[in-house]
Structure 1
Amino acid sequence: MRRRELLQFGGAALVPAALLAHGRASAADRAMQPGGRRLTQIGLQLSTVTRLMLQDFEGTLRQVAGIGYAQVEFSAMGLLGRPVEHVKQLMAEVGLQAPVGRVSPKLPADVMQMPREEAMRVFAERGQAKYLVENVKHALEDAQAFGQKVINLPALPPTAFGSLDQV
């Protein structure tokens, strides 16, 4: 499907939904009414601020909390080489929680001091399927420290399945 067809199809698919919703209060409208249901646990996926996290990990977490977020999920780069106890203490200090963990490569403590290209190379290397068991064990340790009951396992890159032995 070409882009134009996708946009036409997507736009056409929205028309019935708009017609059905016409004249009815939306969920957001109902939430604003007395007794309406409100979302109370809105979190931020930190992959949306990876560049900032790479520049100033602690400062970015402080800013995220400062604008009103109470929950975060760490990106595929995890804690960026920081000890889990340090991050846990910082998050408690600024009032953030990370209720969902993530399997991510265990990065060296000095990853933040590496040139960006080298850090990304290390990340790519440590994210390979051959490190999956080690990375899962590391994620379980972090999850236990954070009190997480759910861990997100992101997809492995297609290069991880180049042969039957790799699968």
Structure 2
Amino acid sequence: MNKIMVIGVSSGAGKSTFARQLGEVTGIEVTHLDRLYWKPNWVEASLEEFSADQQLVVQNDQWIIEGNYSGTFPIREPHADTVIYLELPLRVCLYRVLKRRVQFHGKTRDDVGEGCKEKIDKAFLKFIVSTYGARKKKMTERMQRYAQEGKTVHYLKTPTQIEGFLGTYNKNT
């Protein structure tokens, strides 16, 4: 487990927190895609810049890259030896998104770009709700393909499974 993609069904699945914890127990540097994508004040990076930044990271001997951004999966997929997929229920994802909004009100989280103060709007919540089912189906198919390609795939669906994975890995190091 040297080149690890941490992806999830939705915002609020726990990708950033999980990746940070995995980085702590493995000593592998974590790259949060939101930090590469979002420039100060929620300005989007160009596709060229975003892609180039990822191309640099995947050349390293070890990495944990956290985030979906499915349009750039082809940059990470060929290099990853391990994929960890978090699929928590929609209600849990929504709760966590709302909790994060309150917890980081007026602040910038360390997993997003500088100057990107936490925000939420109806469109974002609607996006999460309206695309959850389709993304869940597509991600399940993607995990099956990764397994067929010989990647190690971990499919974690509950907080207990997530904690258990980290605990087991921590004991094995």
TM-score of the pair, normalised by structure 1? 0.37
Q: Which has the higher contact order (CA 8 A, sep 6+)?
A: 2
TM-score of the pair, normalised by structure 2? 0.36
Higher strand share: 2
